[in-house]
Structure 1
Amino acid sequence: MKRWLRRRVDAAYERLLSREVSGAPTHVAVIQDGNRRYARSQGDDAPEGHRAGAETTERVLEWCQDIGVEELTLYTFSTENFERPAAENEALFDLLCEKLREFAEADRVHENEVCIRAIGETEMLPDRVRDAVGYAERRTRDYDAFVLNIALAYGGRSRLLNATRGVAECVAADELAPDEIGVEDIERRLYDQPVRDVDLIIRPGGEERTSNFLPWHANGNEAAVFFCTPYWPEFSKADFLRGIRTYEHRAESWRRTRARRALALLGAVSEPELAEARSIVDRFRDSLPSSERPDAETLEAGDSNGRAAD
């Protein structure tokens, strides 16, 4: 009876969260944490935890597509994971090969035009995993409706270091002037294909850290972060929706802050800056509490002050 009641409560909570969620982040990144601890809690070995986690991964992919997410990145195997017991890693590599080939053949992947890509130091992986990666990428490379990035042999610092070295080599070869280095020069050296800025990082398993995951695309975009306690195999749709709600609150806070800053600048800036400030206020004014929303006279006064300052 208690289990039945719990399912009813969970279902009701999920429906409530679904009604509260009104938008979706473009790019969600997930640190799939807790597979091994879940296995231990069930009296199983690590490979059983990884297999249970793979089932959660498939569900999360569907949830992302249902609400309109366009890109999902899964932190699957870090460079530090090579230090784990060889037998455990070999079992995980076998599972990766199985799932990559299964995904590459799945009807839902092709019906939804999912492009599968691997990011990371993939040359460090065993040949059989690299072959499976290549197969999945070839089978889905013409799709662009949804992007699934699988971070394998991944380390955020190492990717940034390699990109920086690439820029330095171009400068040394007089192919690029130091004062001409831009964001795009780093980004195109990070991965073979473009990766969108991260809007939301989700980490289950109880740890509250982002573990060197997509630092350029997440930190630079001030991504929202959602930490929760369930191990990855236990991660539910309600947990996922709570993460989306965290993103929405973060995005709303960002818009409100932008509007307040722009409003404060209206009376103390030059003409070009004034135009930008007014544009921001117009765009985000609905994010402000009603008591803080400027009326037309306030905006006109700011415009007059801006011209007087000139």
Structure 2
Amino acid sequence: MNRWLHQRVDAVYERLLSREIDGAPTHVAVIQDGNRRYARRQGGDASEGHRAGAETTERVLEWCQDIGVEELTLYAFSTENFERPDEENEALFDLLCEKLREFADADRVHDNEVCIRAIGETELLPERVQEVVDYAERRTRDYDRFVLNIALAYGGRSRLLEATRAVASEVEAGELEPDEIDVETIERQLYDRPVRDVDLIIRTGGDERTSNFLPWHANGNEAAVFFCTPYWPEFSKTDFLRGIRTYEHRAESWRRTRARRALALLGALGETELPEARSVVDRFRDSLPTSERPVEGELSMAEDVDGEPVAD
């Protein structure tokens, strides 16, 4: 009875969250933590946890497409994971080969035009994994409706270090001037094809850290972060929607802060900046509590008919 009641409550909560979702992040990145702990709790070995987690991964991809997410990045295997027991990694590599090939051939991937890409130092992976990665990328290379990035042999700091070294080499070779280095220069060196800025990071398993995951695209974009306790195989649609709601609240907070700053600065800004500040307030007026919203037209009262500020 208790289990039945819990399922009913969860279903109702899921529907409620679905109705509350007003917009979707463009790029969601997921740290799939807890597969091994889930397996131990079930009395199985790590490979069983990873296999159960692979089923969750397929569901999350569907949920992302349902609400309009355009890019999903999964932290599947970090450079630190090479330190785990060989038998555990070999089983995981076998599972990766199986699922990647299966996914690359799936009708739903081609019907939905999903582009599969691997990011990370894939040359460090066993040859059989490299081959299936190449197969999946080749089969979906021309698609652009949805992007699925799989982080394999990935380390955020090492990726930035390699990009920095590549830029330094271009400067040393006289191919690039130091004052020409900009954001796009670094991003060209990070990955073969562009990766969107991350809007939301989700981490399962209870740990509250982002583990060096996509630092350039997430930290630079001040991505929202959602930590939750379920192990990855237990991650539900309700958990997913709670993560999306965290992103929405983060975006609302950002808009509200922009509006408040603009209001606070209006009186102190010079005449040339006033129109821009008024524009910010007008854009984000609805993000403010009703009691803080300026009256419609109030911000333009200090302007004459030609749009120029009237001297006090």
TM-score (normalizing by structure 1) = 0.96
Residues 302 and 310, structure 2, Cα contact 8 Å, conserved in 1: no
CA deviation vs aligned residue, 1:240-298 (integer Å, no higher than 9, x gap) = 00000000000000010011112222222234433322222121111011111123554
Q: Which residue of 1 aligns with 2:136?
A: 136
CA–CA separation in structure 1 for the residues paired with 2:182 and 2:310: 36
Larger relative helix fraction: 1
Residue identity opposite 1:93 in structure 2: F
**Corresponding residue of 2:259:** 259
| Matches of 2:84 and 2:58, distance apart in 1 | 25
Contact 1:197 1:221 in 2 (8 A): yes
* 1:96 to 2:96 alignment: yes
What is the aligned partner in structure 2 of residue 109 from structure 1?
Answer: 109
Task: For residue 115 of structure 1, give the secondary structure of its aligned residue in structure 2.
Answer: strand
Give the deviation of 1:172 after TM superposition. 1.8
User: 1:5-44 counterparts in 2 under 5 A?
Assistant: 5-44=5-44
In 2, Cα distance between equivalents of 1:93 and 1:216: 27
Report if aligned partners of 1:114, 1:148 keep a CA contact under 8 Å in 2.
yes
2:159 corresponds in structure 1 to 159
Give, as a single letter, the amino acid of the residue that structure 2 aligns with 1:17: L
Aligned equivalents of 1:152, 1:279: Cα separation in 2: 44
Report the CA distance between 1:301 and its aligned residue: 5.3
More displaced stretch, 127-136 vs 178-187? 178-187
Q: Structure 1 105/252 Cα, relative in aligned 2: closer, same or farther at 3 Å?
A: same
Q: Encode CA deviations 1:183-212: one digit per residue, 9 max, x unaligned.
A: 111111111110000000000100000000
State the 1:300 CA deviation. 2.5
Alpha-carbon contact 2:26-2:68 (below 8 Å) kept: yes
What are the within-5 Å matches in structure 2 for residues 1-310 of structure 1? 1-300=1-300, 307=309
Q: What secondary structure does 1:196 align onto?
A: coil
SS in structure 1 at match of 2:29: strand
- How far did residue 37 of structure 1 move? 0.3
Tell me the distance in 2 between the aligned counterparts of 1:55 and 1:302.
Answer: 61
Residues 28 and 202 of structure 1 are in contact (CA less than 8 Å); yes or no, is this contact kept in structure 2?
Answer: yes
Q: For 2:67 and 2:23, locate their aligned partners in 1 and report how far apart those are by CA, in whole Å.
A: 8
Percent identity between matched residues is 83
Q: 1:302 to 1:201 in 2, by over 3 A?
A: farther
* Deviation larger for 209-218 or 16-25: 16-25
The 1-side partners of 2:174 and 2:302 are apart by: 48
2:171 partner SS: helix
**How far apart are 1:66 and its partner, in Å?**
0.3
CA distance in 2, matches of 1:21, 1:65: 14
Q: Deviations over 1:198-232 (max 9, x none)?
A: 00000010000000000000001110000000000
The 8 Å contact of residues 270 and 307 in structure 1, kept in 2 or not, is answered as: no
The CA RMSD measured in Å over matched residues stands at 1.7
Change (3 A) 1:12 1:300: same
The answer to whether the Cα contact below 8 Å between 1:267 and 1:302 also exists between their aligned partners in 2 is no
SS in 2 for 1:66: helix
Q: What letter corresponds to residue 126 of structure 2 in structure 1?
A: P
Aligned with 1:24: secondary structure? coil
Q: Tell me, which stretches of 5 or more residues in structure 2 are unaligned?
A: none
- Contact 2:266–2:278 (CA<8 Å) still a contact in 1? yes
Contact 1:202 1:226 (C-alpha < 8 Å) held by counterparts:
yes
Give the aligned length: 309
Q: Distance in 2 between matches of 1:290 and 1:175?
A: 55
TM-score normalized by the length of structure 2 = 0.95
Q: Which moved more, 1:128-137 or 1:279-288?
A: 279-288
Give yes or no for contact 2:205–2:228 (8 Å, CA) kept in 1: yes
d(CA) in 2 for partners of 1:272 and 1:198?
Answer: 34
Any idea what SS the aligned residue of 1:152 has? Answer: strand
